[in-house]
Amino acid sequence: MPDIESLLKEKRIFKPNSDFARQANWNKKTVREYRALGAKNPQRFWAKMARENVSWFTPFKKVLDWKPPFAKWFIGGKLNVSYNCLDRHLEGENAWRRNKAAIIWEGEPGDTRTLTFGDLHREVCKFANVLKARGVKKGDRVALYMPMIPELAIAVLACTRIGAPHSVVFGGFSAEALRDRIDDAGAKLVVTADGGYRRGSPHALKPAVDEALEGTDIVGSVVVVERTGQATKMKAGRDFWWHDLMDEASAVCAPAKLDAEHPLFILYTSGTTGKPKGILHTTGGYLTHVTTTSKAIFDLKDEDTYWCTADIGWITGHSYVIYGPLACGATTLMYEGVPTYPAPDRLWDIIERHRVTIFYTAPTAIRTFIRLGDEHPKKHDMSSLRLLGTVGEPINPEAWMWYHRVIGGKRCPIVDTWWQTETGGILITPLPAAVDTVPGSATLPFPGIDAEVYTEEGDPTTPPAGGYLVIRKPWPGMLRGIWGDSARFKETYWSQYDNTYFAGDGAHRDKRGYFWIMGRIDDVMNISGHRIGTMEVESALVSHADVAEAAVVGRPDEITGTAIVAFVTPKSGVEAGGDLNAALRMHVTKQIGAIAKPAEIRFTDALPKTRSGKIMRRLLRDIAGGKEAMGDTSTLEDYSVLARLRESDE
Ligand code: WT7
């Protein structure tokens, strides 16, 4: 962990701004009270949050049933997520929200749509009826492979209305990746679009669905949104246009009364094997977690225009574009396209035009904008902003300072939020009215969260110290399992330490106890805040006919955080070089998607291995990062391999 030294030198401290603190949902006093309660009795704290922030059809009888590693929260409770995100904002004292914007959407070409809570409720009810009419029942899985358009939010919420778990597959994934995810979840229906806009031109999505479904018959129907109007093949009897089905659908659909532990969604994420994991989240605990954190950390108010730039294909988009903000009755902004299209000031222009008040994005985006130059944000009036957030990877203090100065005008608190697909919601974060921030640190665990830094042996460390990040007590938004693979669930998260969640991140705690997340310590890379397993890229590479062996590692990159470097041994007789390089990059894009495409491929006639045949990734990481491979090489099988690999560098 080479960065620890530099981070420890960070002396700048930012106290909560008093104007902000005065109006905050959670002020200092509230936070003090909740921290005390959360430490003393986390179940009582979360039960209070569940009652205050979530509407239940039937109240829960028991807060937690914990048979490690299996947790059940809010047992006996019945609720519906779409009811919490929509119906409750149309009733009683909240009825005025009917004509308040729920979603402000902007397409990449500049077209905009605003859906009020009333509009969104109507569309969701209609699409829920469409799903039912296509034979989708409670418990059936629905796969969504869509661009960032309002129909994606509508489809997600419609699934929750009838209790059909959704599996959103990021639109940048390939047909192969989509097929794996559809198969693994056993999806009965797929929702997609003809295409979406990226960097000024339509890019097709429907052909990938056709390819993914070749040779399988589990999917009965495909519903296609017309977004770009591009020529689209439709298979009679299987494929239907969204607008045709919606035209006939009734706008009346009672929300299903679902068990607190009813499966809400599956979201695939990369792990240390080639096969992505279907992370399972359930209803009551997840909703409690994301609603409470949205209200407390983003300080959501009725007057806010909140914008999280994440794609709904990732967990951030699930929890903090859709569920958290809508359950709070907030206005959430959705943008379809590339942040630098048609010009580098696109995001700042959106902030100015829509008077965005809260902005949540990733460090990789911030670093990109730093490089593009201050003149772009400076062209815009961003005085509406009152709070900034970051997520997805460690933010370097210089990027934090730039965000604070240039985007936040030195007045906005910054919340650096640590969490994962598995955690469902934010676990380590500043609370903007109550916690002093230090650039680069995610600061402290949220109330009710018992985070620690352990030694390898499983002993808690005394700050200042570094080690492995763990969560010692269950929390409501935690994953309930890996879809169809409880052995892997236990092995991945619960086998390192007894009854303790192992996050896979290294962390350091400074003298005041603040957490500094140092990044993944397993074979998982974080590329622009997106998680890619080294094994996944390796299996894609070796599936190419010309490849004998491949090893993939990450190397530090100024913009994307990590860049993918592949060491490839071609089959004998195959010529290594430019053509193969291009072919392999294309092959990985086809197998997984462009996000997994190696930045660099190095050809080598052998890979460094231990005597038992394990690839020594640590050495490869050093070589890829331009460092001398100085670590322990006592188990290296063939020393000359290392020398030859270094030569391949020249
Ligand atoms: C991994 C989870 C849930 C957010 C999107 C990514 C890294 C996330 C931070 C942060 C340092 C962070 C960790 C984590 N990460 N937030 N604020 N500071 N690192 O979700 O794909 O499940 O990845 O992202 O390494 O384990 P994900």
533 alpha carbon – ligand 1 mean position (Å):
14
Triad 54, 60, 61: Cα angle to 5°: 155
Q: Are 502 and 470 in contact (CB under 8 A)?
A: yes
- Given a cut of 80, is residue 579 above it in pLDDT? yes
What is the structure's pLDDT at 88?
98
Residue closest via CA to ligand 1's atom 20 equals 420
Over residues 219-274, the pLDDT tens digits come to 999 999 999 999 999 999 999 999 999 999 999 999 999 999 999 999 999 988 88
What is the structure's pLDDT at 2?
41
Of the listed ranges 79-83, 163-167, 283-287, 397-401, the least confidently predicted one is 397-401
Residue with tokens 């661009």: 147
- 575 vs 416, residue with greater confidence: 416
The string of DSSP letters for 58-126 reads B--SEEEEEETTEEEEEET-EE-HHHHHTGGGSSGGGGGGGGSEEEEEE-TTS-EEEEEHHHHHHHHHH
Render the burial of 508-536: b for 16+ CB within 10 Å, e for the rest: bbbeeebbbbbbbbebbbbbbbbbbbbbb
From the CB of 417, is ligand 1 less than 6 Å away? yes
Please count the structural domains in the chain: 1
From the CB of 394, is ligand 1 less than 6 Å away? yes
From the CB of 520, is ligand 1 less than 6 Å away? yes
Mean pLDDT of 349-358: 98
Helices 175-185 and 206-213 meet at what angle, rounded to 10?
60
Q: Is residue 105 part of a domain?
A: no
240 alpha carbon – ligand 1 mean position (Å):
37
User: For 207, left (φ over 0), alpha (ψ -120 to 50), or beta?
Assistant: alpha
Mean pLDDT of 432-450: 97
Q: Are 177 and 592 in contact (CB under 8 A)?
A: yes
In angstroms, the Cα distances linking 467 to 98, 438, 454, 456, 543 are 49, 20, 5, 7, 36
Q: What are phi and psi of 298, to 5 degrees?
A: -90, -5
296 alpha carbon – ligand 1 mean position (Å):
20
529 alpha carbon – ligand 1 mean position (Å):
7
Cα dihedral angle (91, 93, 94, 100), rounded to 10 degrees? 110
Q: Is residue 532 part of a domain?
A: no
577 alpha carbon – ligand 1 mean position (Å):
35
- Given a cut of 50, is residue 119 above it in pLDDT? yes
User: For 519, left (φ over 0), alpha (ψ -120 to 50), or beta?
Assistant: left
Mean pLDDT of 496-513: 95
Residue with tokens 């236990």: 490
196 alpha carbon – ligand 1 mean position (Å):
27
Q: Is residue 585 part of a domain?
A: yes
- 479 vs 520, residue with greater confidence: 479
Q: Helix, strand or coil for residue 30?
A: helix
Mean pLDDT of 272-301: 96
Residue closest via CA to ligand 1's atom 6 equals 392
What is the structure's pLDDT at 1?
43
- 588 vs 577, residue with greater confidence: 588
DSSP letter (8 states) at residue 561: E
213 alpha carbon – ligand 1 mean position (Å):
32
Q: Helix, strand or coil for residue 466?
A: strand
From the CB of 515, is ligand 1 less than 6 Å away? no
Helices 117-133 and 150-162 meet at what angle, rounded to 10?
60
- Given a cut of 80, is residue 384 above it in pLDDT? yes
Q: Is residue 373 part of a domain?
A: no
Order of strands, sheet of 501-509, starting from the edge strand that comes earlier in the sequence: 451-454, 465-471, 501-509, 515-520
437 alpha carbon – ligand 1 mean position (Å):
19
Q: Is residue 598 part of a domain?
A: yes
From the CB of 117, is ligand 1 less than 6 Å away? no
Q: Is residue 609 part of a domain?
A: yes
CA atoms of 528 and 219, how far apart (whole Å) = 32
- Given a cut of 60, is residue 650 above it in pLDDT? no
From the CB of 418, is ligand 1 less than 6 Å away? yes
- The amino acid that residue 435 corresponds to is V
Reported as a pLDDT band with limits 50, 70 and 90, residue 10 is low
CA atoms of 61 and 38, how far apart (whole Å) = 20
- Given a cut of 70, is residue 23 above it in pLDDT? yes
What is the structure's pLDDT at 367?
92
Residue closest via CA to ligand 1's atom 3 equals 420
Omega cis (within 30) before 325: no
Q: Is residue 318 part of a domain?
A: no
Mean pLDDT of 453-480: 96
401, 415, 304: which is closest to 360 by C-alpha? 415
Over residues 600-614, the pLDDT tens digits come to 999 988 888 877 777
Structure tokens at 305: 């225009």
- Given a cut of 70, is residue 4 above it in pLDDT? no
Ligand 1 pocket mutation pick from 361, 390, 420 by most atoms within 8 angstroms of CB = 420
32 alpha carbon – ligand 1 mean position (Å):
26
525 alpha carbon – ligand 1 mean position (Å):
11
- 644 vs 147, residue with greater confidence: 147
What length does the chain have? 650
Residue with tokens 């969701």: 124
Mean pLDDT of 566-584: 92
What is the structure's pLDDT at 8?
54
Sign, CA torsion 638/643/646/647: negative
Q: Is residue 549 part of a domain?
A: yes
From the CB of 517, is ligand 1 less than 6 Å away? yes
Q: Helix, strand or coil for residue 182?
A: helix
Range of the domain at 567: 537-649
Atom of ligand 1 lying closest to residue 416 CA: 17
Measure CA of the first residue to CA of the last residue in the chain; give whole Å: 27
Percent pLDDT > 70 in the chain is: 95
From the CB of 297, is ligand 1 less than 6 Å away? no
Cβ neighbours of residue 163 under 8 Å, at least 6 residues apart?
138, 139, 256, 258, 262
Residue closest via CA to ligand 1's atom 21 equals 531
What is the structure's pLDDT at 581?
95
From the CB of 508, is ligand 1 less than 6 Å away? no
CATH value at residue 574: 3.30.300.30
Mean pLDDT of 531-540: 91
DSSP letter (8 states) at residue 180: H
What is the structure's pLDDT at 434?
98
